[in-house]
């Protein structure tokens, strides 16, 4: 029941965000540093997009803070994840207990996660 409540709350928040973004003037939208279309696309992304990104980051040994450090990378990765054609593969992978990276090659953000690991963002011993 708690999961259903959480999903409903996220859905309400998303609907509120979409309504807000739709009502922005051109000048207000420019304050977002992205187009209104891009902002609406992110707001309308599947509700579990960030959670999928977080789980994939953890599997690469990356802490939560990494997803918020580079705003543009985060937005690009969120767009990619939201439009991913491998959601079924991702869902199956997320159901695995150990989240082996070798089984996650379907992820279109793999190169991004690997780059973050290479730049030293991973927690030692966790990838």
SS3 content of the chain, % helix, strand, coil (to 5): 65, 0, 35
Element (H, E) at 116: helix 110-118
Q: Which residues contact 81 (CB under 8 A, 6 or more apart)?
A: 45, 49, 52, 53, 108, 109
Helices 36-43 & 2-22 angle (0-180, nearest 10): 170
> What does the pLDDT read at residue 123?
64
**Residue 124's pLDDT band (cuts 50, 70, 90):** low
User: What are 89's two structure tokens?
Assistant: 């593969």
pLDDT of residue 125: 47
Interior CA angle at 107 toward 18 and 88, to 5°? Answer: 75
Residue 9 or 111, more confident: 111
The mean pLDDT value of the chain amounts to 84
CA 115 to CA 4: how far, in whole Å?
35
CA pair distance 113, 24, nearest whole angstrom? 33
For the segment 42-88, what is each residue's pLDDT rounded down to a tens digit?
888 888 898 999 999 999 999 988 888 887 888 899 999 999 999 99
């Amino acid at each position: 029941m708690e999961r259903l409540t959480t999903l409903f709350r996220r859905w309400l928040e998303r609907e509120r965000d979409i309504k807000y973004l739709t009502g922005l003037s051109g000048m207000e939208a420019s304050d977002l540093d992205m187009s209104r279309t891009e902002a609406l696309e992110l707001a309308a992304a599947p509700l579990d997009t960030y959670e999928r990104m977080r789980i994939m980051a953890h599997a690469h040994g990356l802490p939560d803070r990494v997803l918020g450090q580079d705003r543009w990378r985060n937005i690009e990765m969120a767009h990619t994840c939201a439009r991913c054609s491998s959601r079924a593969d991702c869902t199956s992978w997320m159901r695995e207990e150990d989240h082996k990276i070798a089984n996650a090659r379907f992820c279109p953000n793999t190169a991004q996660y690997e780059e973050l690991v290479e730049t030293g963002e991973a927690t030692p011993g966790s990838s």
